[in-house]
């Protein structure tokens, strides 16, 4: 899509920032261009430290004590525990309590990675539940002889089961950017608790923090905003950094994605007004889109949004690692659909052009389980393979997919198309987890939001990442307004996956 602007594509407010013209095409927007990412995050941390320094300094005479060393050695750690206890006890009134919390937050931000891990271990170990108190509450509850005594024992039990660290963490909620601080702290904990050998205390702290955040984030609290090229440069930078589906290559690419025949929406939380939670990118076109490269083509002419008949959601990116696994509720996409329908009444089709990130991994497992990879093929498909030149025919399904640039060989691509389309239909429409949820995470998201699996698109994403994850296949999920609620209920209640008839037919072939 070509830009309608005659300038160089850089927003005026960003010209003073050191911004690279292009970012590494790693496939993950947040990972590509590490220097760019660090520039944005460093500015965020600097602003946070400044705001909290002013709050902490307001009660410096009460707080006392110097800053710990970056790695938080043992003697500094013991002094820090005392500061945590003072913060928890909230002595000195509300102003002093906020100052103590801000002081702890500034300490955490100033520590090295080693120091931050030690900080979190102190919080997990020293401020966990008191198991002796829990045992006493159990005994009191068991000994209760009337309803009043039982209710008192139950209240005491609930209090005993809440670790003091939860009350300590909650104090950050009242600080400027305090919720964002806790979201990032959880991201750090998630990194530290990966793998089977994770420290159970740190894992418990991570779950406590997840529970807090889950109570604060819900679709009812989220604000939907339309992002345009006139948005603040700091927000546009974050859109570049957080794009996790189709890497934004620079300011010109971003400007194209915000042109008149495109829409970009972001969800925000009132306690994180400058930090997007989710970005949704939409192309306004005619008919169902089946090739992401056409949607991202900067040289394509700008379309007339008022004449568009279809809104294609081609990128949905979660921005906050620390909110992973926390549901914002369903119908996120329906809110965008409703806004687009009100703005552009000619729109009749609301659909996605989505990646299928788990398909090739699932296929590899199926090939590994089969005694012969050919057993996954139907007779007509095996015949098409046998018609290939002998050096290719003997490679089989897995061998052909492992060939570099296999999609550029017309004969190979033709032989692979039918089995891959069939197997991918099966993966999307039939394969489920033990909890009756779609195996593919993107499918689960859209099915939860009330969409149906509508159409598979052959070689719709020929990027290295697209070929590696899904053999170049992409899928359209259709949001049909009269069916959204019923599809959502059928999926979330009974695990029934809504799929178009052609997808069902292929899946069951």
Please identify which of the residues 246, 269, 317, 354 carries the catalytic annotation.
354
Q: Which residues contact 175 (CB under 8 A, 6 or more apart)?
A: 51, 52, 55, 98, 101, 102, 105, 181
Alpha-carbon Rg of the chain, whole angstroms? Answer: 27
SS3 475: strand
Token pair 């089969």 is at which residue? Answer: 370
DSSP line for 170-237: HGGGGSTTHHHHHHHHHHHHHHHT-STT--HHHHHHHHHHHHHHHHH--GGGPEEEEE-TTS-HHHHH
Calculate the alpha carbon distances from 212 to 85, 198, 208 in Å: 20, 21, 6
Rounded distance between C-alpha atoms, residue 419 and residue 61, angstroms? 73
Asked whether the beta carbons of 248 and 360 are under 8 A apart, the reply is: no
Here the tokens at position 271 are 């306690």
Rounded distance between C-alpha atoms, residue 195 and residue 193, angstroms? 6
Please identify which of the residues 446, 448, 470, 488 carries the catalytic annotation.
446
SS3 314: strand
Token pair 């013209």 is at which residue? Answer: 21
Nearest to 450 by CA among 475, 473, 482: 482
Rounded distance between C-alpha atoms, residue 1 and residue 260, angstroms? 10
Q: Is 446 a catalytic residue?
A: yes
Asked whether the beta carbons of 324 and 318 are under 8 A apart, the reply is: yes
Nearest to 76 by CA among 105, 119, 106: 119
Q: Is 375 a catalytic residue?
A: no
- What are the phi and psi torsion angles at 382 (to 5°)? -65, -35
Q: Which residues contact 200 (CB under 8 A, 6 or more apart)?
A: none
Rounded distance between C-alpha atoms, residue 428 and residue 439, angstroms? 7
Give the end-to-end CA distance of the chain in Å, rounded to a whole number: 39
DSSP designation for 496: P
Rounded distance between C-alpha atoms, residue 181 and residue 9, angstroms? 33
Rounded distance between C-alpha atoms, residue 505 and residue 1, angstroms? 36
DSSP designation for 500: -
Per residue in 100-132, is it b (16+ CB within 10 Å) or e — as a string? bbbbbbbbbbebeeebbbbbbbbbbeebeeeee
Here the tokens at position 147 are 């309803």
Catalytic residues, by residue number, are 354, 446
């Amino acid at each position: 899509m070509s830009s309608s602007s005659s300038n160089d594509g850089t927003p005026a407010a960003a010209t003073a920032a050191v911004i690279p013209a292009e970012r590494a095409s790693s496939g993950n927007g947040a990972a590509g261009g590490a220097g760019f990412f660090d520039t944005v995050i460093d500015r965020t941390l600097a602003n946070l430290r400044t705001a909290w320094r002013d709050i902490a300094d307001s009660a410096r005479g009460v707080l006392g004590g110097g800053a710990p060393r970056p790695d938080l050695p043992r003697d500094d750690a013991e002094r820090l525990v005392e500061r945590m206890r003072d913060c928890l006890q909230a002595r000195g009134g509300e102003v002093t309590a906020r100052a103590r919390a801000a002081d702890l937050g500034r300490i955490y931000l100033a520590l090295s990675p080693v120091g931050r891990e030690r900080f979190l271990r102190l919080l997990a170990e020293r401020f966990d539940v008191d198991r002796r108190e829990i045992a006493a509450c159990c005994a009191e509850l068991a000994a209760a002889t009337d309803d009043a005594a039982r209710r008192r024992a139950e209240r005491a039990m609930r209090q005993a089961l809440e670790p003091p660290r939860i009350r300590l963490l909650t104090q950050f909620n009242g600080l400027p950017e305090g919720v964002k601080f806790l979201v990032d702290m959880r991201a750090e904990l998630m990194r530290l608790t990966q793998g089977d050998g994770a420290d159970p205390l740190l894992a418990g702290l991570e779950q406590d923090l997840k529970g807090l955040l889950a109570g604060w984030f819900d679709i009812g609290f989220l604000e939907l905003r339309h992002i345009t090229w006139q948005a603040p440069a700091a927000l546009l930078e974050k859109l570049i950094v957080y794009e996790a589906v189709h890497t934004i290559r620079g300011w010109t690419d971003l400007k194209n994605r915000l042109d008149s025949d495109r829409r970009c929406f972001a969800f925000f939380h009132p306690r994180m007004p400058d930090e997007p939670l989710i970005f949704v990118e939409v192309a306004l076109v005619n008919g169902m889109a089946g090739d992401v490269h056409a949607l991202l083509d900067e040289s394509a002419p700008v379309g007339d949004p008022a004449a568009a008949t279809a809104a294609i959601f081609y990128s949905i990116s979660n921005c906050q690692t620390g909110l992973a696994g926390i549901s914002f509720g369903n119908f996120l996409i329906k809110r965008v659909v409703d806004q687009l329908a009100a703005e552009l009444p000619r729109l009749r089709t609301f659909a996605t052009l989505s990646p299928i990130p788990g398909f090739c991994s699932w296929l590899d497992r199926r090939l590994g389980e089969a005694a012969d990879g050919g057993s996954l093929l139907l007779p007509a498909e095996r015949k098409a393979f046998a018609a290939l030149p002998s050096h290719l025919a003997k490679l089989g399904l897995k061998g052909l997919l492992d060939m570099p640039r296999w999609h550029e060989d017309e004969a190979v691509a033709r032989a692979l198309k039918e089995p891959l389309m069939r197997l991918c239909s099966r993966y999307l429409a039939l394969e489920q987890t033990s909890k009756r949820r779609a195996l593919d995470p993107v499918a689960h998201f859209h099915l939860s939001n009330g969409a149906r699996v509508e159409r598979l698109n052959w070689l719709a994403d020929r990027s290295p990442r697209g070929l590696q994850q899904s053999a170049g296949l992409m899928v359209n999920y259709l949001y049909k307004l009269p069916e959204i609620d019923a599809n959502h209920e059928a999926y979330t209640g009974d695990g029934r996956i809504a799929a178009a008839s052609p997808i069902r037919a292929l899946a069951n072939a």
